[in-house]
């Protein structure tokens, strides 16, 4: 690969986000509600699980379309924050859950095999194209991840939830 990534590589990488999310959702859907409810007294319903995930898909599609058509740095920052919440922190949640439970957490395979590599590739393209520096990207990722990281901590260690 050359020193500089393809100028359209960030937009092309963002186009993959909805598909990556859907793959994760399809792995997670059959058993996540039951797994979640075994950890949290104030559990969730299957309907809530579907509504939350369909809403997340719609938000992802909107952000991808906005970036694709505008190439706006502000939209990119919002997209990175969103994907940090939706994918990066969620992958950490699934990994931590598997350690805590000493077993499989629904969604673990796609979190490890899709979410983490996808986030790394997207981050690489963003930095290589000079759209965000490493420090700025790190700040955006940390800010975007924080709500999901707190949510995951509450679920796994306190039997509660943020939302």
Whether 82 has a pLDDT exceeding 90, the answer reads yes
pLDDT for the residue 62: 98
**What pLDDT score does 163 carry?**
80
Rg (CA), the chain: 16
Q: What six digits make up the tokens of 54?
A: 């369909």
Q: What tokens appear for 71 in the block? A: 């190439």
Binned at pLDDT 50, 70 and 90, residue 1 comes out as: very low
Instruction: Check residue 4 and give its pLDDT.
Output: 58
Whether the pLDDT of residue 38 is over 80: the answer is yes
What separation, in Å, do the N-terminal and C-terminal C-alpha atoms of the chain show? 42
Instruction: Count Cα neighbours of 153 within 13 Å in the Cβ-side half-sphere.
Output: 6
Half-sphere exposure of 135 (CA within 13 A, CB side): 0
Unique residue bearing structure tokens 């100028």:
7
Mean pLDDT computed over every residue of the chain: 95
Total residues found in the chain within this entry: 163
Position 154 pLDDT exceeds 60: yes
Alpha helices (H) along 17-115: 17-28, 32-37, 46-70, 73-83, 89-101, 108-110
Which single residue is written with the structure tokens 């999310």?
21
Residue 3 clears pLDDT 80, i.e. is over it: no
Q: Report how far residue 74's alpha carbon sits from residue 156's, in angstroms, rounded to the nearest whole number.
A: 33
Q: What percent of the chain has pLDDT over 70?
A: 96
**Do the Cβ atoms of 7 and 123 come closer than 8 Å?**
no
**Does the pLDDT at position 2 exceed 60?**
no
pLDDT digits (tens, 9 = 90+) for 45-80: 999 999 999 999 999 999 999 999 999 999 999 999
Q: Mean pLDDT throughout 117-125?
A: 97
Determine the pLDDT at residue 8. Answer: 83
- Nearest CA-CA partner of 81 in 52, 48, 122, 114: 122
């Amino acid at each position: 690969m050359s020193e500089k990534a393809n100028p359209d590589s960030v937009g092309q990488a963002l186009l993959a986000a909805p598909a990556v999310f859907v793959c994760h959702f399809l792995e997670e859907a059959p058993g996540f509600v039951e797994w979640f409810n075994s950890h949290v007294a104030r559990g969730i319903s299957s309907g809530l699980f579907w509504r939350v995930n369909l809403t997340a898909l719609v938000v992802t599609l909107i952000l991808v379309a906005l970036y694709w058509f505008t190439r706006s740095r502000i939209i990119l920052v919002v997209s990175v924050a969103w994907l940090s919440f939706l994918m990066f922190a969620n992958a950490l949640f699934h990994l931590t859950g598997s350690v805590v439970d000493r077993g499989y957490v629904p969604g673990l395979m796609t979190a490890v095999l899709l979410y983490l590599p996808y986030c790394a590739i997207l981050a690489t393209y963003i930095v290589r194209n000079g759209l965000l520096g490493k420090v700025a990207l790190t700040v955006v990722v940390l800010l975007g991840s924080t709500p999901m990281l707190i949510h995951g901590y509450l679920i796994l260690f306190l039997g509660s939830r943020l939302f």
